[in-house]
Amino acid sequence: MTNITLKPALMEHDPTNPILSSVVTTLRADAWEAALKTANSFLEFSDVPYGILHGFDMGTLQALPSKTFIPPNHSSAKLHPTAIIDNIHNELAERRYSGPFHPDRLEMLIGPFRTSPLGLVPKSNGGEFRLIQDFSYPRNDPQVSSVNASIDTDSFSCGWGTFQRVVDLILHAPQGTLAATLDVDSAFRRKTLLADVAWWHCTLSEEFAGSTLSLPPPPNAVEFWVDASTSWGIGVIFDDVWDAWKLQPGWHKDGRTIGWAEFVAVELGLLLAISKGYKNTHFIIHSDNQGVIFAFQKGRSRSVTQNAVLQRIDHLLAINSIWVTLTYVPSASNRADAPSRGEQLTDIKKNNLLQSLATPAFRLPPHDVENIILALDKCYAPSTIKNHNYSIHHFHTFCDKRQVPGELRFPTHEVILLAYAASHIGKFTGSTARRHINALKAYHTINNLVWNGSSRLSKVLNGVNIKAPQSSARPQRSPVTTTMLRVLLSELNLQDPLDAAVAACACTAFWGQCRLGELLPPTSTTATSQLPSRENLTRSASRKSDPRSYELHLPSTKTNRAGGQTVTLLKQDHPTNPLPLLQNHFAVNELPKKASLFEYLPKNDNSNRLSKRRFLARCNAIWSKRGYSRITGDERGTVSE
C-alpha cells in the first residue's frame, strides 16, 4: 500500500493500538531539540524534532480523498511481482510498513485513502530493481489530481545540484561557514555503510587524506571550438590553428554514437592544447552538442563509451591543472563545423598534432604515426589505466598539499620522487608504494618525458617495504572449495534461469581455474566483446552425446588480452561436474550461439546478462548463511572435502 494519507486526527501513532506501526528512524528527536535550543533556533525549526517523532507534513493534506482511490500498478510491477513482494517483506521487517490490510479494513481504521501505482526500474548492477511510487499519477485527469499536483512547490522546494555546484558554493562561502553531508543510499533513509576497513585505515592514516579545492584562473582568451559529424569525422579549432580526424568505418558500433564523437572532439582539442604547452589555465570550449555540455556539468553520462572518454578527459585536466567550461553555440555558428565535415580551412593554418613523432630529417607517413598512437593507447588494460589514474591523482594530492610547482611534477624531479615514495613509510606496504611509482613511470614513458628514477629511489622503496605497518597487510583469502560448491548447488534451483547460469558459471570457473573477469562482465551493461559467447564452447570430438570434455576459448585473459586462451573442462566424478551443469544451463535458458555464455532469461534487455556483481551477490547470499566468509571473485578454487 503506498502513499496512505491519514486524517489529521489519526496521523499520530496510538501506542495502545499495535495495528499501525510507529515511526522508525535512526534520528534522535531529543538530540535535535537540544541542538536547536543551543543554537537559539528551536522556535524557527520546532517542526524538525516533532516530525522525527510523528512524521513530517509533505504538503499532501490537500490530496485527502473523499472516497478511496486505488489505481492499478504499472506494467513493470506486474512483470516482476517477486521484486515487489520482496520489497514489501523488507519494509515490514524494518517496521516501515503497517499491515497488510484489506482495503475495507484500512478504510474503517483511517477513513478514505488513496494509493499511487507501484513500478520497477532496473538497476545498473543487473538483475535487481528499484521500486518507484508514482505520485504523479494520474496525469492530466480532470476528475482526479495526483498527489504531487496537490503540493505547493513554493513551500516544498527541492534543488538538484552537481559536484561542481557544490565546489563553487564552498569556494565562495564566507569565512566561518559550516556544512554537513549525508550519504543518501536510499531516499529518505540513512544506512550504515559497509566498507573495506583495511583500505580506509590506510587511507585515513595519511597525513593528508582529502582533496584540495581552488578557484579556476580567469578564462583564457584563446579560441577553442570543437565539433563532430557522422558524415565525416571530428574537427577542432584552437589558438588559430585547425585539425581534423576522419572516423573509421564501423566507428558507430559497441554503443558509440555522435555523442561519443563529440566527447572525443573535446579530448582531441585538449591534447592539441597540451601539445602546445598550455597548463594551469581555464579554457572556454564552444560546442553545439547540448548532451555533451550537460554530461560535463553532471560529471557523467548514461553512455558507457562516453563515460570512458570523460574519464580520460578528467585525467588530462587533473595532471595538467586545466579547467574547462563548455558553452553552447548553434551549429551554424560553430567554427569547427567545416573541418568536422572534411572541409579545408584557408583562413587559418592547419596544425600537426603529431609533430613530436617526426624525426629531425625525416617525417613518417601518417598511417605509421597513427599506428604508433594506437599501439600506445592499447598497451595497458582498462583496469590498469584506471589504477594508474588513481595513482596519478594520489601523487597530485601529495604535491598540492606541499604546493609543488607544476614544472617539478612532470617531468617529476628526483627529489620529488624520493619525497613522494617516502611519504608511504609506516602507512602502506612496499607494493602499494611501488605501484604508485610505477604508474608515474608509465605516464612519463607514454608522454615521452624524462624519468628521473634513480638507485636512491629503489633504496627508499626498500625502506618503505621494511617499515610497512602490520595493519596494512590484508589477511589471506580463503579459497573456494568443492564443499562450498556443494553447498551452493544444494541451495540453487537449477530450473530457475538465473540459478542455472550461476551454477554453471561457478563450477566452470572452479574446474577451469578461470578468473571471474574472464567469464563475466563487471555489470550487466558492460560490453562483452572480450568475454566468451555460447559458440566459444565446443564439445570434445568423441562421444558428443555424452561429452567427456568441453573446450572453452576465452577471447581475452589477464596474461593474454589479445589472443586469449583455451581452457579444457574435463568430466569430473563429482557432484560439481561442470559439464552437466552447462548442459542444464543451455536447456533452461535456450541460449543461441551468439549469446553470452552465461546469459539467462528473460531476453528482453541487458538485465538478462549475468554480471560478476550479480553472480557474487547470489553466491555470497547462500554461503554467508552457512558461515563462510564473503568472497570477492579473486579467489581460486581448491579441491577439499
* Of the candidate ranges 330-339, 555-564, 622-631, the one whose mean pLDDT is the lowest: 555-564
Comparing C-alpha atoms, which of 358, 360, 364, 428 is closest to residue 391?
428
Q: Are residues 437 and 565 in the same domain?
A: no
Q: Which whole number is the average pLDDT over 375-380?
A: 78
Are 211 and 227 in contact, with CB atoms under 8 Å apart? no
pLDDT of 382 strictly over 80: no
Q: Which residues on adjacent β-strands are paired with residue 224? A: 238
- Give the CATH number, domain containing residue 394: 1.10.150
Strand order in the sheet with 349-350: 322-328, 281-287, 224-228, 233-238, 241-246, 349-350
The per-residue pLDDT for range 112-149, each reduced to its tens digit, is 888 999 998 877 555 678 888 898 898 888 888 888 88
Q: Is the pLDDT of residue 641 over 60?
A: no
Has residue 351 been placed in a domain? yes
CA distances in angstroms from 17 to 14, 98, 103, 210, listed in the order given: 5, 12, 18, 50
- Asked if residue 319 and residue 379 are part of one domain, the reply reads no
pLDDT tens digits for 521-568?
887 766 666 888 888 888 765 555 556 788 899 888 877 777 788 888
CATH number of the domain residue 256 falls in: 3.30.420.10
176 located within any domain: no
Is 11 contained in some domain?
no
Q: Is 427 exposed, middle or buried (0-12, 13-18, 19+ CB in 10 A)?
A: buried
If asked whether residues 52 and 126 sit together in one domain, one would say yes
pLDDT at 61 over 70: no
Is-above-0.85 flag for pTM? no
pLDDT at residue 328, as a whole number: 94
The verdict on residue 245 lying in a domain is yes
What pLDDT does 635 receive?
54
At residue 87, the pLDDT reads 84
Q: Is residue 342 part of a domain?
A: yes
Please give the grid coordinates belonging to residue 122. 532496473
**Least confident among 257-261, 509-513, 607-611:** 607-611
In a domain, 65, yes or no: yes
Task: Tell me, yes or no, whether 348 and 375 share the same domain.
Answer: no
In a domain, 190, yes or no: no
Residue of higher predicted confidence among 514 and 202: 514
CATH number at residue 543: 3.90.15
> Would you say 555 and 463 are in contact if contact means Cβ atoms under 8 Å apart?
no
Give the end of a domain, one of 357, 384, 414.
Answer: 357
**Contact yes or no for 222/237 (Cβ under 8 A):** no
Looking at residue 489, its pLDDT comes to: 94
**What residues make up the domain containing 414?**
367-472
Give the chain's domain count: 4
Q: Which long-range contacts (CB under 8 A, 24 or more apart) does 351-355 make?
A: 351/238, 351/241, 351/242, 351/243, 351/272, 352/243, 353/243, 353/268, 353/271, 353/272, 353/275, 355/275
User: Which residue among 87, 105, 140 closes a domain?
Assistant: 140
Q: How many CB atoms lie within 10 A of CB 400?
A: 17
Compute CA distances 111 → 5, 66, 117, 137, 295, whole Å: 10, 9, 20, 21, 47
Q: Calculate what percentage of the chain has a pLDDT beyond 90.
A: 25
Tens-place pLDDT, residues 384-422: 887 887 888 888 888 888 888 877 887 899 999 999 999
Rounded to whole angstroms, the Cα distance separating 516 from 508 reads 10
500 and 449 inside one domain: no
State the pLDDT confidence band at 45, using cuts at 50, 70 and 90.
confident
Residue 628 confidence (pLDDT) = 87
**Looking at residue 202, what is its pLDDT?**
66
Question: Final residue of a domain: which of 472, 496, 518?
Answer: 472
* pLDDT reported for residue 634: 61
Is residue 273 assigned to a domain?
A: yes
Helix H or strand E segment including 350 = strand 349-350
Q: Are residues 620 and 489 in the same domain?
A: yes
- Kind and range of the H or E element at 133? strand 129-133
CB 623 within 8 A of CB 529: no
pLDDT at 373: 72
414-449 residue pLDDT tens: 999 999 999 999 888 888 899 999 999 988 887 777
Q: Who has greater pLDDT, 615 or 593?
A: 615
